[in-house]
Structure 1
């Protein structure tokens, strides 16, 4: 398989991208990488060019640029050229640590949506602290506004991913809401609840509140992009604050606190790792014709490696092909309002 890599994406570009790519190359002998970007900067980071091909580009999309305009105007940007490689069949998937909005625009306008899906959803994998497993949540920012039918389709996409990628026979699907009762929420969430609950193929467990997200209640959590992004940022902020509070308490608590911190060093490291959801891969733009996967702009080489591992599994297990087939066969998945 071939993976197109936006080597200029993210805060540090090739400096962190290339080491992660090389680690993945050494782990997976069936992957070839196409590295798009500034040839001199990319080559300076490469230690072994086996199964690495540099495709020189003259532009890159910056984080503060308007995504749609940037994708349309910068024809030779690393992300744009990489997306065209996927569209043209030269690569099986695209990976980037660059602008989320630009990657979404490139995915929509260049690679294209799966027929029958109105909007793709951005979906990460997050830790479940109660059971030690993980769960998926979508959408976490691809769409600020969503209709009930969009949330239903997110449930279809998340259900397929959990089955085919994570091997869960009947994934527990929940709808993120401001209460657990079926009649909670605004008109959009009430209507979405009814659509998802009516689908016999789902193992729908009802509404879930934000405080239960990390407690193992669901395998797939469905939400609109605005709410999902706010929830994700709250989780990230809380994790950072807890770790800072623990460090400050140890460092400012005197000799006994520092001794206790030294004894707990291993346990605190485990706690830090549990909060680091980059270990589970990147955020997938589900609903596009090929795997389009985004990792954080500050991603470390380890995070890049884990994300490429995830892409390798997606391509190997033909997750996107299965979704394409499902939506081409199942009219109800495309237009759930026909269930009435």
Structure 2
């Protein structure tokens, strides 16, 4: 892997910079060509780094930022104030070509607003969308939007579908199956935004397969599933909670009487391996598609393992040159549309 340098918002997330620094040190040990810029308050970060021996400081440096964006800060306020916040400084470093990607576990709304303001969107993109890989029966499905855009019209859903298709192709999926998440698979089902988006996607130069329901997503019926951010975020959080609850209930059942414990001795190792495959930390890191740069949002409550996965996801997108591929792919699709009412 060629040398890569990423900016890590060290002040974001629910638990502060200590876990973030630990994840960065682990990634540097695992990937010899990786360079990281920790963005945040130098004195605090140096104190934390002093507890980690043997860190290669030639590949880890601190980019100073005096302010912190809180999880309750409003995006509109962040845009006008906190000009030296760690999140903003990291994005400016990406804009100026000092780093190749940004990873943050901070305020999602603020990260979206600042990303659009500092980096700008690709030509033809109104709003970036958050996308992540969701485990399914047959592999994974790219789900977007996951919460960056709570209210979406048909045009936004249409753009999300095109970007999702290009992103899936960049990851090696040939002719990815693209679907709209809906309350039914029949054409008459859904709200007006979904129906209008479906009409446009039927004329698009992608492999649009129609509507898919929530259970169809997990059966692997599509490679890319599109919805607004309200629905996507609820689906994601409900899925994480359900997976956790099922795992805990199963383990509790095997901790009952003697027969249950004997059965558990055989079954629990298999179940724990399955749980490890499905644990949210292994799929952490939602990408912002549609920006002129790679930005990955880590879950605010992610632990060290989850943060490592988010950093690895950003590295992968840098290697794939994903923003350029999405930009080129969108322009190629739109050039062949021939639709007079196109706004993109």
Q: For the residues of structure 1 that align with 2:44 and 2:270, how far apart are their CA atoms?
A: 39
Q: TM-score, normalised by structure 1?
A: 0.92
Does 2:110 correspond to 1:105?
A: no
Contact 1:149 1:335 in 2 (8 A): no
User: Matched residue of 2:174: which SS?
Assistant: coil
| Per-residue deviation, 1:55 | 1.4
| Per-residue deviation, 1:27 | 2.9
Q: In structure 2, which of residues 33, 36, 57 is the aligned counterpart of residue 33 of structure 1? A: 36
Instruction: Give a deviation string over 1:186-241, Cα, whole Å, max 9, x none.
Output: 11111111111211x31122110012221111111011111111211221221122
Q: For the residues of structure 1 that align with 2:5 and 2:339, how far apart are their CA atoms?
A: 35
Q: For the residues of structure 1 that align with 2:235 and 2:338, how far apart are their CA atoms?
A: 28
Corresponding residue for residue 187 of structure 2? 182
Q: TM-score, normalised by structure 2?
A: 0.91
Q: For the residues of structure 2 that align with 1:209 and 1:65, how far apart are their CA atoms?
A: 35
Q: For the residues of structure 2 that align with 1:16 and 1:83, how far apart are their CA atoms?
A: 21
Instruction: Give a deviation string over 1:263-314, Cα, whole Å, max 9, x none.
Output: 3231121232232243234100111110110111121221122111111111
| Per-residue deviation, 1:14 | 2.1
Q: For the residues of structure 2 that align with 1:323 and 1:79, how far apart are their CA atoms?
A: 24
Distance 1:105 1:333, change over 3 A: farther
Does 2:91 correspond to 1:83?
A: yes
Distance 1:38 1:187, change over 3 A: same
User: Matched residue of 2:134: which SS?
Assistant: strand
Contact 1:145 1:224 in 2 (8 A): yes
Q: In structure 2, which of residues 234, 239, 261 is the aligned counterpart of residue 235 of structure 1? A: 239
Residue ranges of structure 1 left out of the alignment (5+ in a row): none
| Per-residue deviation, 1:245 | 1.7
Distance 1:40 1:236, change over 3 A: same
Q: In structure 1, which of residues 311, 315, 320 is the aligned counterpart of residue 318 of structure 2? A: 315
Distance 1:254 1:335, change over 3 A: farther
Does 2:216 correspond to 1:212?
A: yes
Q: In structure 2, which of residues 142, 145, 156 is the aligned counterpart of residue 136 of structure 1? A: 142
| Per-residue deviation, 1:115 | 1.8
Corresponding residue for residue 200 of structure 2? 195
Q: CA RMSD in A?
A: 2.1
Corresponding residue for residue 303 of structure 2? 300
| Per-residue deviation, 1:174 | 1.0
Corresponding residue for residue 156 of structure 2? 150
Distance 1:216 1:185, change over 3 A: same
Corresponding residue for residue 260 of structure 2? 257
Instruction: Give a deviation string over 1:123-180, Cα, whole Å, max 9, x none.
Output: 111111x22x11110011111111111111111111111111x201111111100101
Q: In structure 2, which of residues 22, 27, 31 is the aligned counterpart of residue 24 of structure 1? A: 27
Number of residue equivalences: 335
Distance 1:336 1:4, change over 3 A: farther
Contact 2:251 2:268 in 1 (8 A): no
Does 2:132 correspond to 1:124?
A: yes
Does 2:58 correspond to 1:53?
A: no
Does 2:270 correspond to 1:267?
A: yes
Distance 1:178 1:333, change over 3 A: farther
Q: For the residues of structure 2 that align with 1:228 and 1:66, how far apart are their CA atoms?
A: 21
Contact 2:121 2:292 in 1 (8 A): yes
Residue ranges of structure 2 left out of the alignment (5+ in a row): none
